Amino acid sequence: MGIMSIVIIAIIIAIICGEKFRVNSGILAVAFAYIIGSFILNLLPEELYLLWPTQLFMVIFGVSFFFNFANTNGTLEILGSHIIYIFRDHLFWLPLGFFFTTALISGLGGGVWSSVPIVGALALPLCKQANMNKTIVSIAVVQGGLSGGNFVFGPHGAIIRALIERSPLAEQSFDLTNQIFFVSISYPILLILLMMFLDKRKAKLETLQLAKPETFNKQQKKTLSLILLFISIMLLVPVISNFNQSLKWLSDLNERLDLGLVAIIFGLVAYMLKLSDGRKVLDRTPWDTIWLTCGMAFLIGVGAEAGITQQLANIITYIPTPVMPIVLTFLCGFMSIFSSTVGVIAPLLFPTLESIFLATGINPSLIAICIIVGGFSAGGAPFSDAGSLLLSASGGDLGEQKQLYQRLLFKVAPLCVAAAVVTMGILTIFYFI
């Protein structure tokens, strides 16, 4: 049995056993990572520790620590009430509002790391208050953050364009990046619209009667001001830096900004300002989410050390030409569970675009779109970046977080992957006609 099969089986066992025995799947993943890494791959313990996802841990903890002040003192609840009240006659369209808001924040430089937790912390409480479909809203927030970042000057788009410029398709880098952005942002909109019109709850939303919400107290106003300052720093610095690269000090500052660490600082400020009971805030730390996401990322990191992404990439050469774009989209979605789309999958597969074209005759642009769209389609999984960030920003109790975890794993991720596959299937049909 190959290492790829072993790692995949370990992930499946961890998920199944976690559900059956009510054990955190992430802790099981840590055990599997140690067994596979030490006794199959011959990695020393100190080498394994280097694979622990420290940044992911700090981001989840920092975001939850800061935003839990707004959760525990009622700021987000009242803010949500005000927004619902403003949209009281248009609640049906609110999921699209979440999508475009997240996409805008991500595309302007925030990326998925800033956009998803910022909008997610607001969107999920609104779902509960307005009896909205959490699956639709989760897709809107996750895919908005992922696809919005693919804007040609956005955080993902800039990397994609740079990777294409180092490939044989360098002259097409700008146009090809724009094509990727257009497709990646179009299919989630169509999916969200379809689900909105098929949602059985839409009649309740259209007839919802709301009372005028409460006003903010002094503590909640201070919390809102702190959140706005946090958002401004995390958004304006990258945006100004992207559009004015001559300011070296600003570029240096942008490189040093880290969402998790900045959130911890703002959380400490909120703690010292006594914006909420500090004990309650710390008690709401989502340790189950942290162990789940970091444990799975740890196991996946061990698998990546063994080259499972390269093994998956080799499968492409055996795919029949007429269905290659469709199968490749699905494979990249599956591979993104094991590794970053723009960090591993795109750098691994983009150099092969010309050879795939020579072997199959398929337009390299179509293959490039498959790689990115497919890779980001599984971003809503709870152990992927966007999914884990949405979990960390949810602010719900243990039961609600478990429900959200199951929704992300069994509904959001499969629906988005299926929508991406269908989209690429349609594009493939038009290509071969």
Print the domain residue range for 397. Answer: 53-202+216-287+309-432
Buried b / exposed e over 150-182, threshold 16 CB at 10 Å, is bbbebbbbbbbbebbeebebeebbeebbebbbe
Residue 36 gets which letter from DSSP?
A: H
DSSP string, 64-132: HHHHHHHHHTTHHHHHHHHHHHHTTT-GGGHHHHHHHHHHHHIIIIIHHHHHHHHHHHHHHHHHHHHT-
| 163, amino acid identity | L
Question: What's the CA gap between 2 and 142, in Å, rounded?
Answer: 33
- Structural domain contains residue 35: no
Question: What's the CA gap between 226 and 224, in Å, rounded?
Answer: 5
- Structural domain contains residue 37: no
Q: Can you read off the two tokens belonging to residue 413?
A: 């991720």
The predicted pLDDT at position 177 comes to 87
Give the dihedral sign, CA 172/178/181/182: negative
What's the pLDDT tens digit per position in 291-333?
Answer: 887 888 888 788 878 877 566 566 776 788 788 889 889 988 8
Cα angle 156, 160, 163 (rounded to 5 degrees) comes to: 140
Residue 306 gets which letter from DSSP?
A: T
Stated pTM of the model? 0.69
Q: How far apart are the two ends of the chain, measured CA to CA in Å? A: 41
- Structural domain contains residue 181: yes
What's the pLDDT tens digit per position in 224-269?
Answer: 999 889 888 887 887 787 777 777 888 888 888 887 899 899 999 9
Instruction: Using the structure block, give the residue that is written with the tokens 């009430």.
Output: 81
With 0-12 / 13-18 / 19 or more C-beta atoms within 10 angstroms meaning exposed / middle / buried, residue 252 is exposed
CB 70 within 8 A of CB 223: yes
CA 279, distance to chain mean position in Å, is 29
- Structural domain contains residue 370: yes
- Structural domain contains residue 407: yes
Question: What's the CA gap between 349 and 329, in Å, rounded?
Answer: 12
Question: What's the CA gap between 111 and 144, in Å, rounded?
Answer: 10
- Structural domain contains residue 252: yes
Give the dihedral sign, CA 254/259/264/267: positive
The predicted pLDDT at position 50 comes to 94
Torsion angle, alpha carbons of 422, 425, 431, 433, to 10: -110
Instruction: Using the structure block, give the residue that is written with the tokens 């795919």.
Output: 319
Alpha carbon distances (Å) from 30 to 26, 40, 89, 350: 6, 15, 48, 32
Give the dihedral sign, CA 92/409/306/328: negative
- Structural domain contains residue 229: yes
Residues 6+ apart with CB under 8 A from 425: 325, 326
Alpha carbon distances (Å) from 116 to 8, 139, 353: 27, 11, 31
Q: Can you read off the two tokens belonging to residue 155?
A: 């955080």
Q: Per residue of the chain (433 residues), what is the pLDDT tens digit?
A: 677 788 888 888 988 898 788 888 889 999 999 999 999 999 999 999 999 988 878 887 888 898 889 888 888 778 767 776 777 677 788 888 889 888 887 876 567 877 888 888 878 887 777 778 889 999 999 999 999 888 877 778 878 877 887 777 777 887 888 899 999 999 999 999 999 988 866 646 555 566 687 899 999 999 999 988 988 888 788 778 777 777 788 888 888 888 789 989 999 999 999 999 988 899 888 888 788 878 888 887 888 788 775 665 667 767 887 888 898 899 888 877 766 677 667 777 787 777 777 777 788 888 889 999 999 998 888 877 788 888 877 766 667 778 888 888 888 989 999 999 999 999 888 876 5
CB 29 within 8 A of CB 10: yes
Residue 33's nearest CA partner among 392, 337, 25, 23 is 25
The number of domains in the chain is 1
CB 63 within 8 A of CB 108: no
- Structural domain contains residue 180: yes
The predicted pLDDT at position 228 comes to 87
